[in-house]
Amino acid sequence: MTQAYYSAVLDHPLDTVWSLIRDFNNYPAYIDGVSESVIEDDKRGDEVGAIRRFCYLGNWIRQRLVEHSDRQHILTYAGLEALPYPQDDRSQSAAPTRYQGTMHLRPIIDGDRTLIEWSVALDTEPTDADRWQALFASWIPDWTDSLARTLARVRPQHD
């Protein structure tokens, strides 16, 4: 297993951030590049076991919600299919068929802000681990920045 991890401070209260991300089906609302998302089998977006199918940069991806806690502000998802490697890459890097991502929010009392920790654990071939880790280490900050931009549009930052 290889892991990519990123943390950042969001200048918004924890409840505001959680209300945006807690619905597993709300990805298009805060991740640039996600054009649509559908929860399969009429499950709710906060129901453990729900499967979302979403289109990210033209690729359809399926993930299952494996943990969801309104009390602890944690959302964990697992990939159900191999991830497509970016099309501009000419290598034959094997795609991880198993990966698990976790978004965990923590309150920052000073300034009523939120710490977001986002990690993705990837089960890759050892020869491909560094490439996949680097890819996710670049994607997670982009996704977090997209979330921050969405929050700024929805509710202005603190003074």
Predicted local distance difference test score (pLDDT) of residue 7? 98
3-class secondary-structure state, position 14: helix
CA 31 from chain center: how many Å? 8
Q: Which structure tokens are listed for 4?
A: 């990519």
How far apart are the two ends of the chain, measured CA to CA in Å?
42
Global pTM? 0.88
- The CA R_g of the chain, rounded to the nearest whole Å, is 16
The whole-angstrom separation of Cα 36 and Cα 123 is: 26
* Model confidence band, residue 129 (pLDDT cutoffs 50, 70, 90): confident
Ranking 30-39, 82-91, 113-122, 146-155 by mean pLDDT, the lowest is: 82-91
H or E, element range at 153 = helix 129-154
